[in-house]
Structure 1
Amino acid sequence: MKIDQNLYLANQTASQTKQSDLGKDEFLKLLMAQLKHQDPLDPMDDKQFISQMATFSQLEQSINMSETMKTLANQQSQSNFLAYSNLINKEITYAVYDSTGEYTGQETGRVQSVSFAGNDVVLKLTNEDRIAASQVMEITQSANEVIADGE
């Protein structure tokens, strides 16, 4: 009798995707299944149970910490963006770099608008140049801008 080669395991494609990380929901399901199916005459050791609960608590805390850090980073980006919006209509001196990243000098210009490009703040100048906020070297008040003296 001949065996069809399509039935060999080596010729089968893996249809399952491997997920290496256990989330808090999967961990809790495993723990509950373990408690549900334990031998009533030989229950789980209380130290082992406490250890597993502590592990679950640490997992949940690290997930919450990660989410909090993402929120904080997003708020910091928004704060930086709003801070740079104060540069609109200001004269700035900025560093100029060539295509290889070599410093070639400095130029001045007036900020027309502020925008995001990825996670970076980009300043658009009235001469249509776009520069990274990190290139700003000096900020000056233009001669035609009136300063309120509080009177």
Structure 2
Amino acid sequence: MATTIDNTALNTVNGVAASSATKSTKSTTAGGTLDKDTFLQLLVTQMGNQDPLNPQDNSEQIAQLAQFSSLEQMTNMVTAITKVGALVQNMDTSVLVGQVSSMIGKTVTWTDDAGKTSSTGIVQSVSLAGSVPTILTKVTGDDTEHEVAIGNITKIS
């Protein structure tokens, strides 16, 4: 009789485990990858469903927890590196804008995007078009304004 109760209890637990595993499979299939939350859910489900009379070896549990810890640390490192990369890019852009702003009031010569037509004008201002600094110039003689990419400048005087 005790064996029947144990089997019934195990079947109920296994039924819950089966539905939990199905939920995890559905969420991972949609995303295509296993994340740390899914890994932890599987580990907890595995520990909760082990046979109390024949428990899992402790070394296996320790190895799985170590894998989980490594996964979490790698995820944190990737996040931190991504933030550092964005910070460095912002600093580079700020330094470049600072350097280009020293051109205000100077006469520059540039070519058009095709590299054929050359023009000369006085730098009026500096702006960021996307992440690329550009200058706004007034052409000498007719006062027309042009937005010039830094890469198109051929001479500064």
Residue 79 (structure 2) aligns with: 67
- Does residue 130 of structure 2 align to residue 112 of structure 1? no
How far, CA to CA, are the matches of 2:94 and 2:155 in structure 1?
Answer: 16
The SS at the match of 2:34 is coil
Q: Which has the larger radius of gyration?
A: 2
Q: 2:96 aligns with which of 80, 84, 89?
A: 84
SS at match of 2:30: coil
Structure 2 counterpart of 1:20: 32
Shift in Å, 1:49: 1.5
- What's the counterpart of residue 47 of structure 1? 59
Helix, strand or coil for the counterpart of 2:53? coil
The CA RMSD measured in Å over matched residues stands at 3.2
**8 Å CA contact retained: 1:111, 1:125:** yes
Instruction: Report the CA distance between 1:79 and its aligned residue.
Output: 0.4
Deviation at 1:64, TM superposition (A): 0.7
Give the distance between the partners of 1:61 and 1:113, measured in 2 at CA.
42
SS in 1 for 2:125: strand
1:146 is matched with none
> 1-side partners of 2:51 and 2:155: how far apart?
74
The answer to whether the Cα contact below 8 Å between 1:122 and 1:130 also exists between their aligned partners in 2 is no
Residue in 2 that maps onto 1:123: 134
Letter aligned with residue 94 of structure 2: L
Answer yes or no: is the 8 Å Cα contact 2:111–2:117 preserved in 1.
yes
Larger helix share, 1 or 2: 2
Gap runs ≥5 in structure 2 = 1-25, 138-144
Q: 1:72 deviation in Å?
A: 0.8
| AA matched with 2:33 | D
Alpha carbons 1:94, 1:137 under 8 Å: kept: yes
* Identity of matched residues, %: 27
Aligned-residue offset at 1:113: 1.7
**Count of aligned pairs between the two proteins:** 119
The TM-score normalised by the length of structure 2 is 0.58
Change (3 A) 1:111 1:85: farther
Query: For residues 48 and 93 of structure 1, do their structure 2 counterparts lie closer, same or farther at Cα, with a shift above 3 Å needed?
Result: farther
